[in-house]
């Protein structure tokens, strides 16, 4: 039974993403691309509204300064657009995780799974996570001080706080995805999940969300760390170090929860192969084959299945750029390229 905490998100997702929540298929790539572009469109609209408001209250010069800061000095138009688009993608595809798991395990899930599923959907926990990041980011960037007057500075603070809140939303979804998968490990596999790749729909969700988030981290940190803040508080430029927080948080979240789901899927699929081999052993007992032929068939099937599993879910070297990008990003920003 679907948690009551998923009712409101499901309604929002149905209106925004055109999904009914009744199947475990992720949104099409074209729809995800449109959602990402929607994030950039919202960021652009925000900048336009900001310019109009500042122009009306503070004049043309201040409006031009705000637009320059938002688009060029801090590149907020890009970083806010990326994380907005990422949050929309996550919101519209998050139903894939519990629906895929529940369709595969059908009533055999543990209490730990439902605990993490509750936290995955909970609006209160989402608000708590996002609220913490809003408070933290407001304090840091208020002390850094944007080089604008009151209204322009408020609009920049609103944008950066929104970025941190949306990043917290995406990060916690990835975290609880990993924890829901972790809760599946104690379950004894009683049918072949590997034959139809019943859990494969989870992988695209994790990859897309983690890849877009690391792009946001790079753009955000490079834009704000090198930005022309005033640093006129008594902290001086020492507070600049706290601008690296997104990179520091992204290292464990993105590396662990990008690799770990595939490790869990590999183990579950491996157990599925074991189950299938045992089933075939029983079926072959009555077959008119020699003992050698039966054993050769089972060995060949086992080898082919495990080779296919290894190639489809391997933790390949091609995944290393995610971690390397984070390290290079931190070094580049700290050492000034």
336: pLDDT confidence band, cut at 50, 70 and 90? low
**137-151, 165-179, 260-274: the lowest-pLDDT one:** 260-274
Q: Backbone phi, then psi, for 3, in 5-degree steps?
A: -65, 145
pLDDT exceeds 80 at position 77: yes
pLDDT exceeds 90 at position 304: no
Closest CA to 263 of 322, 315, 208, 305: 315
In the numeric block, which tokens belong to residue 55? 């122009």
One DSSP character per residue, 217-271 reads HHHHHHHHHTS-----STTGGGGGGGGGHHHHHHHHHHHHHHHHHHHHHHHHHHH
pLDDT exceeds 60 at position 269: yes
Work out the burial of residue 28: count CB atoms within 10 Å of its CB; fewer than 13 is exposed, 13-18 middle, 19 or more buried: exposed
pLDDT exceeds 50 at position 316: no
3-state secondary structure of 66: helix
21: pLDDT confidence band, cut at 50, 70 and 90? very low
**How far apart (Å, rounded) are the C-alpha atoms in residues 78 and 86?**
12
pLDDT computed for residue 325 by the predictor: 56
With tokens 């971690």, the residue in question is: 323
Q: Kindly state the average pLDDT of the residues 143-167.
A: 94
Q: Kindly state the average pLDDT of the residues 318-334.
A: 53
In the numeric block, which tokens belong to residue 4? 């009551």
The 10s digit of each residue's pLDDT in 30-68 is 888 899 999 999 999 999 999 999 999 999 999 999 999
Closest CA to 217 of 263, 192, 242, 254: 254
**How far apart (Å, rounded) are the C-alpha atoms in residues 118 and 69?**
41
314: pLDDT confidence band, cut at 50, 70 and 90? low
pTM above 0.85, yes or no: no
Q: Kindly state the average pLDDT of the residues 182-186.
A: 92
**How far apart (Å, rounded) are the C-alpha atoms in residues 28 and 204?**
11
**How far apart (Å, rounded) are the C-alpha atoms in residues 175 and 213?**
13
Residues 6+ apart with CB under 8 A from 257: 174, 175, 177, 178, 206, 210
**How far apart (Å, rounded) are the C-alpha atoms in residues 122 and 86?**
19
């Amino acid at each position: 039974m679907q948690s009551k905490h998923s009712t409101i998100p499901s309604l929002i997702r149905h209106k925004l993403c055109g999904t009914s929540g009744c199947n475990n298929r992720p949104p099409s790539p074209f729809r995800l691309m449109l959602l990402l572009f929607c994030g950039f469109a919202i960021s652009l609209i925000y900048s336009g509204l900001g310019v109009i408001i500042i122009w009306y209250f503070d004049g043309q010069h201040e409006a031009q300064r705000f637009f320059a800061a938002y688009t060029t000095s801090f590149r907020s138009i890009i970083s806010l657009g990326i994380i907005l688009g990422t949050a929309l993608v996550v919101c519209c595809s998050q139903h894939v995780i519990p629906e895929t798991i529940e369709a595969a395990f059908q009533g055999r899930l543990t209490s730990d799974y439902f605990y993490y599923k509750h936290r995955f959907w909970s609006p209160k926990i989402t608000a708590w996570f996002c609220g913490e990041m809003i408070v933290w980011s407001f304090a840091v960037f208020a002390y850094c001080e944007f080089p604008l007057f009151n209204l322009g500075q408020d609009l920049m603070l609103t944008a950066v706080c929104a970025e941190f809140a949306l990043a917290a939303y995406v990060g916690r979804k990835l975290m609880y995805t990993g924890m829901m998968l972790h809760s599946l490990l104690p379950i004894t596999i009683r049918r072949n999940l590997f034959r139809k790749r019943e859990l494969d729909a989870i992988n695209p969700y994790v990859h897309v969300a983690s890849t877009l988030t690391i792009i946001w981290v790079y753009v955000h940190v490079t834009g704000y760390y090198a930005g022309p803040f005033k640093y006129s508080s008594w902290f001086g430029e020492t507070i600049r170090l706290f601008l690296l927080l997104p990179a520091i948080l992204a290292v464990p979240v993105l590396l662990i929860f990008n690799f770990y789901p595939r490790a869990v899927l590999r183990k579950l699929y491996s157990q599925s192969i074991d189950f299938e081999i045992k089933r075939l052993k029983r079926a072959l007992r009555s077959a008119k084959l020699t003992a050698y032929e039966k054993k050769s068939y089972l060995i060949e099937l086992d080898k082919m299945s495990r080779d296919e599993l290894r190639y489809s879910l391997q933790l390949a070297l091609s995944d290393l750029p995610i971690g390397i990008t984070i390290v290079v990003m931190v070094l580049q920003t700290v050492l000034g390229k």
